[in-house]
Amino acid sequence: MRNVVVVGTQWGDEGKGKIVDWLSDQADVVVRFQGGHNAGHTLVIDGTTYKLRLLPSGIVRKNKISIIGNGVVVDPWALLDEIKEIRSKGVEVNENNLIISESVNLILPFHREMDEIREDFAGKDKIGTTRRGIGPAYEDKVGRRSIRLMDLRSKSNLDQRLEKVLFHHNAIRKGLGKKIYEKDNLKKELIKIGNEILKFSKPVWLKIDELKKKKKKILFEGAQGVLLDVDHGTYPFVTSSNTVASNAATGSGCGPNTIHYVLGITKSYITRVGEGPLPTELKDSIGEHIGTKGKEFGTVTSRKRRCGWFDGVLVRQSIKISGINGIVLTKLDVLDELDEIKICTQYDLDGKKIDYLPSSVEDQLKVKPIYKILKGWKSPTQGIKNFDELPENAKKYIYAIEDFVGVKISSISTSPEREDTILLENPFDL
């Protein structure tokens, strides 16, 4: 038995969906351990496109168990919509192949509204959230006033929990001149939806322990990327949860010894949705070319992604923080037509060369990239499945990345199609 954690090494959107789907074919169980429906994983299987937000990527495969762990925040209405959407494409979703932790914290309507209010008020200083209520829901979790899925089982308990959370939110809403929420109306809505969603609910930590004893292969699926981690990312332009690999244990209820291999998904260039530092950002025709060819629009928000050269400093930092054993390099084919390609290997901060991203957002916005320049390969790589068939300059680019970040490139993705992957090392076999 080997259990694998998949995390993004950049700001998300690295192509985790395809890789998780590819790995889930070998796994018995796929677990989501953090985030909410602000994540977006696109899978293309036999010509059918699936856009998942809350559901683990394993849901589209038969005879797999998909688990939503306690570290995830769940909008129950959004989840049911997603289940309905995925069922319309012929995917079976039932209590046997989908398990939701009874401890997940719920995203409620006032969380979504608060997210929007804050972003609108912040103006040019906005974080760039997806406005899905993720942050406010995590705040209530930490503030110990959250509604959890298990609370929907008892009307009296739900009544008490709503009293507490609405005391907090309605006080803020009054101060902002917003309409307050009526407890009884919200209670009715939650009881109604609880009847539909509680059937998936189980103590996930117990289920994972049972699966481990049966020697099942478990794949832990991260959302967003390491650089959006609330502790280790480009704070405050981050998400509201820990996206690093170690949170797979906390967010699902198993010990760290459950994890045997950490796989980092890494785009051949770099992108970012929303606000915040992006040291290698390209605001020119090259950036436009990469964005157009790479179809760089957010899966969840459809917002245009900002594009930049591969930032080796950041990826190496993510590898160290998240304990990554190997990386998958994605979207290599997007760079096929470029004359030269750059890798950021250092930063200049006020005339001083540094090899890490500083913690201060002020310094993060000031750093200037120092590049290693390589010749482009000017030859198509899309669909190549054998490393030896890659152009020589493409190989040199791959070797340069591998040498700089300090871990092995385990596979290379050459198109969105699952089959278009060059496998160099299988994490389930090591």
Residues with a known catalytic role: 13, 41
- Residues 6 or more apart in contact with residue 302 via CB below 8 angstroms: none
Tokens 């005391």 locate to: 167
**Ramachandran class of 188: left when φ > 0, alpha when ψ lies in -120 to 50, beta otherwise:** alpha
What is the greatest pairwise CA distance in the chain? 68
Tokens matching residue 230: 């609330």
What pairing do the DSSP bridges indicate for beta strands 41-45 and 48-52?
antiparallel
96 burial via Cβ count (<10 Å: 0-12, 13-18, 19+): exposed
Distances (CA, A) of 144 to 45, 139, 194: 41, 9, 21
CA distance 272 to 373: 22
Contact between residue 347 and residue 367 where contact means Cβ atoms under 8 Å apart: yes
Nearest Cα neighbor of 189 from 116, 130, 110 is 110
- Residues 6 or more apart in contact with residue 356 via CB below 8 angstroms: 313, 317
Question: Quick one: angle between helices 155-175 and 183-197, nearest 10?
Answer: 130
Please give the full DSSP string across 135-177, using - where no structure is assigned.
HHHHHHHHTT---BGGGGG-HHHHHHHHHHHHHHHHHHHHHTT
- Residues 6 or more apart in contact with residue 222 via CB below 8 angstroms: 5, 6, 7, 8, 16, 33, 34, 35, 243, 245, 247, 248
Tokens matching residue 335: 């760079």
